[in-house]
A and B are shown apart, each in its own frame.
Chain A
């Protein structure tokens, strides 16, 4: 009986229901349109425009800005080299940690250890990068090395320092999805594999690694995409010597004020990100038959 009255009142209140839904979704929808969709359309329009003589934008329809992309080849080259390398370095460090946390750590320690991994990610990247600037800078490790007899060792403002900063900054984001996919893994599969005579190595390669691939691909693509837009780490630890796309964008928008060219670079960056996401999805679907891992 209650179901019947429910259905009738639902029908009678259909208008009110729709109004409520609209009220609930309205503010979020407006926010997404005004501050995500419209700005994206704006830079897409700018990217086919021309630079006004005094800086800024002049309406046009030309692909000249895109043709000019090689002018920033160094920034693209550095980013396209260091972003995948950084993501790979993160992965090599993150996998054993995630494996230990998910499969070997004592149960009561697991969540505490996981929280200890997550916490740095939510603290200021600026402050954490600054910490390495301090440690690698002239008065940090080089001073210690000079004390024991190795003079003039330069650590900061090198590609190595940037790579270290990248691993430090993004390690938690790589550990988390791998942990999630390993934690879901059916342990009976591992036992079955061992019972059927597989060596530990082939069990790892054929079962564990394969089934945790969605987590690996999620972490890899997220880290890679965020690295494509990274500015702080190359600026603070690369000291202006290691130029990323992020540095080029800051220069073009805040210093030399060539907005159309900057917009073309930003659109290219977004397109590369989309390609990375699609590729990561496809790889994980083909190998393990599962889509990427949702983090939240």
Chain B
């Protein structure tokens, strides 16, 4: 059994390790292991399209994760205050936002937004007093909104779980000692749920940064890093892709380790 488990761990990590290894290979191919080099990183970062895609991805991930952390945390706090029935409806929708495959989320968001723009854009044009009326179109906004849907549901569930295990006695003690609800929230509740909020933010960022399929449908003319990499892979495997893949994998692993570590923190650090 132990040998089998070791084999599975090797199976999980060997392909990734090979990509990282060959990203530092001086030769073009695996068959030319000619020495250590960081030339492919230089080549990748000198590619303006790639840098543009990377910047887009960072912007989208930061924005959607921030909005998701904010709305998700608020929703988790709100859900602790509503009736069982309202809660059940919310939980069902949040569960759907997480479980429905990305391809369906992407398609349905695309269809709904295109229909919406078809109504809104002529209306904007008719009321706009100047020459160039603003036109809504797919792009940053639609990717952020679609990524944020999954992320917000995730944050709500993570923070909600933490709220459920919150020590009620502390909250009661605080209000017995004449603390205002706001003070109780700031000094008791917030420090206790903060690790869950941070973990949710990091996972939301990772999800958005790594997502291909949802963005593929709703990106319009924009390019994110996964969309760019997907297009390059289909044109042919090049050593630069190994370098990009390594950067993305290392960044995601760091964020996930950080998130896991936050979730394991039982008590606030002060």
Contacts and interface: CB of A to CB of B under 8 A. Distances in A.
Interface of A: 2, 6, 17, 20-21, 23-25, 27-29, 31-32, 34-40, 42-43, 46, 93, 96-97, 99-101, 104, 111, 113, 115-120, 122-128, 130-135, 137, 139-140, 143, 168, 171-172, 222, 225-226, 228-232, 236, 246, 249-250, 253-254, 259, 262-263, 266, 269-270, 273, 277, 296
Contact of A39 (B31, B94, B111, B245): B111
Contacts of A132: 15
> B interface, by DSSP: helix, strand, loop or mixed?
helix
B81 A24 contact: yes
A28 B156 contact: yes
Contact of B102 (A122, A134, A229, A253): A229
A249 B253 contact: no
Contacts of A104: 1-2
B148 interface: yes
B104 A25 contact: no
Nearest to A245: B103
Nearest to B242: A134
A214 B1 CA distance: 23
A34 to B, nearest CB: 8
Contact of B109 (A23, A35, A118, A137): A35
B201 interface: no
Interface residues of B, number: 85
> A interface, by DSSP: helix, strand, loop or mixed?
helix
B11 interface: yes
B221 interface: no
Given A27-B75, A28-B156, A38 B104 contact: no
Contacts of A168: 11-12, 15
Contacts of B77: 24
Nearest to A269: B104
Contacts of B103: 229-231, 246, 249-250, 266
Contact of A17 (B81, B115, B212): B81
Contact of B260 (A17, A36, A115, A269): A115
B152 A43 contact: no
B217 A42 contact: no
Contacts of A139: 29-31, 237
A97 B4 CA distance: 8
15 contacts: A28-B71, A31-B149, A32-B93, A39-B109, A96-B5, A100-B1, A116-B13, A119-B257, A128-B15, A128-B16, A139-B30, A168-B12, A250-B216, A262-B107, A263-B111
B99 A36 contact: no
Given A43-B108, A46-B111, A273 B253 contact: no
A266 B111 CA distance: 12
